[in-house]
Amino acid sequence: MAQSGLVGRELALTMLRVLPRVCLGNLRPNPGSRHKKKRGRGQHGGDKHGFGNKGSGQRQNFMRTGYETGNTPFYLRFGFEPYYKGHHLRRQYPPMSLEQLQLLIDTNRIDTSKPIDLTTLVNTGIIPVKPDWKHYGIHLTDEGADLFKTKINIEVQWTSEPVIAAIERNGGVIRTAFYDMNSVYAAVDPERHFKRGEPIPRRMLPPADCLEYYSSAETRGYLADPEKISEERLALAQKYGYELPKIEDDPDYDMLNARKDPRQIFYGLEPGWVISLKDKAILKPKADYLKEYYTS
């Protein structure tokens, strides 16, 4: 009754003095906002919690993966498919489109004044190549071929004819090259490889099932004859109806003509060299048998 005559600021100050402060100890949900979810004992089937009556489903010995409660399992109902034979050993090539490549160039993640290889693409941080997942390199796809407008010298592991035409139409050069698993490990993470103090491995030749692909001039294989590649460049330009730029007259001829040795992994670094990042030095083999081994 004493507060009935108070108004405004005086009433608010009086209420603060009398009422308790809000804290975690006196917070309560609104009445009726929370409902009890658990049903009572013996009501609507009791308190089995969805595990039913007896059996392995009620106990902790859970059924194994693929068990179909007494039915014939999937792998026995259907016959063997030869397609899946050795599927876990097949080489995988994660895709990268020409549209993605153009975006990486436009955002200055790739320097077009230098040759582009597997190490360059992985160092962008956008293209994932995981050797543990049987990734053997990059598959360059033709998505965004009409948007690609850059002159580059690129080396990928797998590609198609429209991609080759899109790059050569802009005065660029493309090659397909094989990397074995040890070479992929080194190319994907060079710093980790150099810190081990191991020599740069020599790149192995492609296996028999893809030797024809990397030896073909049509796919711009790195083992193909350069004269046949020149002929195929002209034939592809006539097929797609564009004028083939002359690389010989290009001011960037040295960059466009740069290529690796079939045994080489990094540009400017030979197999057998040991890179010391701590000392910033390169150790080269001097024994003749080592030179012959890494260059053979």
Tell me the pLDDT tens digit for each residue of 63-93: 788 888 888 988 888 877 788 788 888 999 9
pLDDT confidence tier of residue 1, bands split at 50, 70 and 90 = very low
Query: At 55, which amino acid appears?
Result: G
What's residue 48's pLDDT? 72
Name the 3-class secondary structure at 285. coil
Using CA atoms, how far residue 108 sits from 101, 102, 132, 140, 198, in Å, is 11, 10, 29, 19, 32
Length reported for the chain: 296
Neighbours of 170 (CB within 10 A): 13
The mean pLDDT value for 112-139 works out to 94
What's residue 45's pLDDT? 54
Low-confidence winner among 9-18, 52-61, 184-193, 221-230 (lowest mean pLDDT): 52-61
Instruction: Locate 117 and state its tokens.
Output: 């290889």
**What are the DSSP calls for 36-47, one per residue?**
--SPPTTSSS-S
Using CA atoms, how far residue 147 sits from 120, 155, 166, in Å, is 21, 20, 9
250/151 Cα distance (integer angstroms): 11
Question: How far does CA 262 lie from the centroid of its chain?
Answer: 24
Longest dimension (CA), the chain: 109
What's residue 42's pLDDT? 54
pLDDT confidence tier of residue 17, bands split at 50, 70 and 90 = confident
The pLDDT tens digits for 253-284 are: 999 999 999 999 999 999 999 999 999 999 99
What is the rounded radius of gyration, in angstroms, for the C-alpha atoms of the chain?
A: 34
pLDDT confidence tier of residue 43, bands split at 50, 70 and 90 = low
Contact present, 67 and 60 (Cβ < 8 Å): no
The mean pLDDT value for 22-47 works out to 74
141, β-bridge pairs? 97
The pLDDT tens digits for 93-111 are: 999 999 999 999 999 999 9
- Residue ranges of domains in the chain: 88-268
